[in-house]
Structure 1
Amino acid sequence: MKTETINKEVKYKKLIVALSIVIPVAVAVLFKVKIEGYDFSFLPPIYASINGLTALVLIAGLVAIKQRNIKLHESLMKVSIGLSASFLVMYVAYHMTSDSTAFGGEGMIKYIYYFILITHILLSVAVIPLVLFTFVRALSARFDAHRRLARITYPIWLYVAITGVVVYVMISPYYT
């Protein structure tokens, strides 16, 4: 591996580690901040749709790389990252301006909902560095390392995108 590539990856590693800590902490802190006077109640179906679109784009990206269409794969992965970032901004904006919605289901469905929600949240935190490291390895033309990490990253990212939609569908009847 070239020295330039190693230096680039070391630089990105520090940034990725920082972002992987700062983003979840910032989201947690911003959940405590309430901004009055704004109505972003229209956002949940939009950011749920963005999660659904992210899942579709991720699947299309997998199909593209399986067909050896590298340029399309690269473009679709960049779109997926952009969609995920857009989701995060809207999600935080909604929660900073709205009260949390309690899940109203009872019995087994309540346990299923909380299982999906908790795994979604935990994996959404874990996927941040995975996506960024996978992306940097591709940018550094370390495609073997990219492929190895993508085999772990992809199913987690897809799970997070799909369960984001599932969580929304399950809680949407309880929005006020």
Structure 2
Amino acid sequence: MTDKFIFRFVAGVTIFVIAVVVILNRHLIPGPAVPPSFTPYLPLLNAFLNGTCSILLLVSLYFIKQGNITVHKRLNILTFCLSSLFLVSYILFHYLMQHDTPYGDTSGDGIASPEERATAGGLRTLYLTILVPHIVLAAGVLPLILLSFYRGLQMQVEKHKKLVRWAFPIWLFVTVSGVVVYLMIKPYYHF
């Protein structure tokens, strides 16, 4: 495979994934009138997958620092598979749930009153301060991950290292902040 093909493939996958997420978050494709009974468990699954990926990324870093390329590769492949499973679960959740959960909404009707928003106060600001970079970086890290995987699997070590300098900390931030976002929004889920 040529680099040109790989870049086009990565760009295509990235654009497709971002488009699907945007379409589903805007509820442009109607989901079922009544979500399946497993739907409320998907955010917890997503947080578990993100947390597991955070740990695996750190363990993978440990093994590459020890010079154990085989374990490093296996852990990264596992992390990539779990992140892919997260993406499928995330997309499925947003397809099945046809409403958003505002931070600070304790009414359960999806509309936070001014009093509820005031109660959330500074925590809502903190939540948004974590959520916004989480979303932006989650979209931006995908091509870095795909390209670094390709370079790593091809044993193009120098190119792999250059990409990973950016991909690793961003991917780690996205997985850790995903867990934090879940823990912060969880009290406002009303399924």
TM bin, normalised by shorter chain, reads over 0.9
Runs of 4+ in structure 1 over 2 Å off: 7-10
1:15 match: 9
Distance 1:10 1:89 in 2: 27
Amino acid at match of 1:91: Y
2:188 match: 174
| Higher helix fraction (1 or 2) | 1
Per the TM alignment, residue 145 of structure 1 is displaced from its structure 2 partner at its CA by 1.0
2:35 match: 38
1:107 match: 121
> Could you list the per-position Cα deviations for residues 98-146 of structure 1 after superposition, in whole angstroms to 9, with x for gaps in the alignment?
1211110622111110010010000000000000111111122210110
Per the TM alignment, residue 92 of structure 1 is displaced from its structure 2 partner at its CA by 1.1
Per the TM alignment, residue 76 of structure 1 is displaced from its structure 2 partner at its CA by 0.6
Per the TM alignment, residue 10 of structure 1 is displaced from its structure 2 partner at its CA by 2.3
Report the CA distance shift for 1:140/1:9 in structure 2 as closer, same or farther (over 3 A): farther
What SS does the corresponding residue of 2:2 show, helix, strand or coil?
helix
Question: What is the TM-score with the length of structure 1 in the denominator?
Answer: 0.92
Per the TM alignment, residue 162 of structure 1 is displaced from its structure 2 partner at its CA by 0.2
Per the TM alignment, residue 26 of structure 1 is displaced from its structure 2 partner at its CA by 1.3
* Deviates most, 39-48 or 150-159: 39-48
Listed as ranges, the matches of 1:137-148 within 5 Å are 137-148=151-162
Distance 1:45 1:156 in 2: 22
1:120 match: 134
2:174 match: 160
Distance 2:65 2:133 in 1: 28
Question: What is the TM-score with the length of structure 2 in the denominator?
Answer: 0.85
Identical aligned pairs, as a percentage?
Answer: 34
Task: Could you tell me which runs of 5 or more consecutive residues in structure 1 were left unpaired when the two chains were aligned.
Answer: 1-6
Amino acid at match of 1:26: V
What SS does the corresponding residue of 2:67 show, helix, strand or coil?
coil
> Could you list the per-position Cα deviations for residues 27-73 of structure 1 after superposition, in whole angstroms to 9, with x for gaps in the alignment?
11123123123331111111111000010110111011001110100
Task: Could you tell me which runs of 5 or more consecutive residues in structure 2 were left unpaired when the two chains were aligned.
Answer: 105-118
Distance 2:189 2:50 in 1: 19
2:112 match: none
Choose between structure 1 and 2 for higher RCO, CA contacts under 8 A separated by at least 6 residues.
Answer: 1
> Could you list the per-position Cα deviations for residues 125-175 of structure 1 after superposition, in whole angstroms to 9, with x for gaps in the alignment?
000000011111112221011011101110000000000000000000000
What SS does the corresponding residue of 1:57 show, helix, strand or coil?
helix
